[in-house]
Structure 1
Amino acid sequence: MTGGPALTRVLGDLTEQRVDAIVNAANSSLLGGGGVDGAVHRRGGPEILAECRRLRAGRYGRGLPTGQAVATTAGRLPARWVIHTVGPVHSGTEDRSEQLASCYRESLRIAAELGAATIAFPAVSTGVYRWPLADAARIAVDAVTGSAALGDFAELRFVLFDEPAYRAFGAALDG
C-alpha cells in the first residue's frame, strides 16, 4: 500500500467500532474501571474480564505497567481484539509524554503481531488522567505516524467521545 494507512478520526463510541482491534485506555489492574475502560468491559462482556483475570494471574500479577499493551478477546464487541494500554496520569512537574507515546506504539506493535489491519484508538489519558487534549492529540498522532509498524495497517482511527477531543485531534492530524 502506497502512502501508509488511512489516518481518520470520528466522533463516536469506541465500543461500536467495526475494526479488527480497539485500544482500551485501561487501568493497570486490567479489571475494568471508569471511562473508556468501564465501557469496554461493560459492552464487551465477561469474556474480556475472564482473559484479563488470567493475565493478572500470570505475567501481569502486579498489573500492566504504564506505557505497555496487551491483547485480549473483544468479547461481544464488534471488533476481534481489545488491546489494553495504561496511559500515564498527567503531571505538571514531570514530563511523561514518552509514556503516553509508548501506549500508542506498543498498541500498534501488538496489533501488528495479531495481524490486525484496522485499529481504533481513544484519546488515551485525557479523561480522569487529565492530559491536556491538544498535547495528547499531538503526542498520539506523532507516535502513530512515527511507528515502525505503520505499513502493516489499512486504517488507524481515532475515536473521540466529544467535540473538544474531535477538534484537538483534527488540528493534530492537520498539523
Structure 2
Amino acid sequence: MVTIRLVQGDITEQSADAVVNAANSSLLGGGGVDGAIHRAGGPEILAECRALRASRYGRGLPVGQAVATTAGRLPARWVIHTVGPVFSREEDRSELLASCHRESLRIADEIGARTVAFPAVSTGVYGWPPEDAARIAVETVRAARTSVEEVRFVLFDERAYRAFAERLD
C-alpha cells in the first residue's frame, strides 16, 4: 500500500525518485508548475521533451497521459510529465484527471521510481477546484496497483494543502 504524505512547498525542491510535472500538451514548458520545473531543471528536460515531440508525440502529449524524462538539475531522477484537463462545469472531466495520476504511477513503475512527488494537477490556470482535485487525486492513488512506496503531494498554497489534508483525515 502506498504511503501518502503532504508537503506545503515548492515541488522543484523535492528530493524524490520522480516529480510529476503538470505539463501542457506541447511539453515545451509554460507557466505554473510546468514553467518552474523547466526553469529549475534546466535545458536537459527541454531537450528530451523536444525529442519526444519529434518522435512519439508530434501533436503533443494527450490529456490524461504521462511520459518521463530526465530531471536535469532537479533533486530527483526523473520528471513525469502529465497533461491535466481544464475544468469544466458543463462536462465531467474527472476521469481524465484520475488518469493523470494513474498514468503517472504506471510510468513510475516502468522506470522503477519508488518515491513520487505530485503537484495539485489542474488546480492552477486549468481552474480545477482544489477540494475536488484532492478527492480525485487521493482516491486514485489509494486505489492504484503500483510498486511506488510513497506519494508526496507537494502543495504550493495553503488552500490546496488544506483540501488534501481533509482528504487524508
Normalising by structure 2, we get a TM-score of: 0.99
Aligned to 1:39, the other structure's residue is in SS state helix
Q: Which letter maps to 1:102? A: S
1:71 aligned residue: 68
Structure-1 separation of matches of 2:102 and 2:144? 6
Partner of 1:24: 21
Aligned-partner SS, 2:68: strand
Per the TM alignment, residue 170 of structure 1 is displaced from its structure 2 partner at its CA by 0.3
Q: Tell me the equivalent position of 1:160.
A: 155
- State how far apart, in whole Å, the 1-side matches of 2:122 and 2:167 are: 16
Aligned pair 1:104/2:119, yes or no?
no
Identity of aligned residues (%): 75
Q: Which runs of 5+ in 2 are unaligned?
A: none
Secondary structure at the counterpart of residue 119 of structure 1 = strand
Report matched runs for 1:1-175 at 5 Å: 4-149=1-146, 152-174=147-169
Contact 2:67 2:80 in 1 (8 A): yes
The Cα of 1:67 is off from its aligned counterpart by 0.1
CA distance in 2, matches of 1:49, 1:33: 11
Runs (4+) of structure 1 moved beyond 2 Å? Answer: none
Give the AA of the match of 1:50.
A
Structure 1 residue 173 displacement after superposition: 1.5
Count of residue pairs the alignment pairs up: 169
Deviation at 1:154, TM superposition (A): 1.9
User: Deviation digits for residues 147-169 of structure 1, max 9, x if unmatched?
Assistant: 121xx122110000010000000
Letter in 1 for 2:25: S
Superposed CA RMSD: 0.5
Unaligned runs of 5+ in 1: none
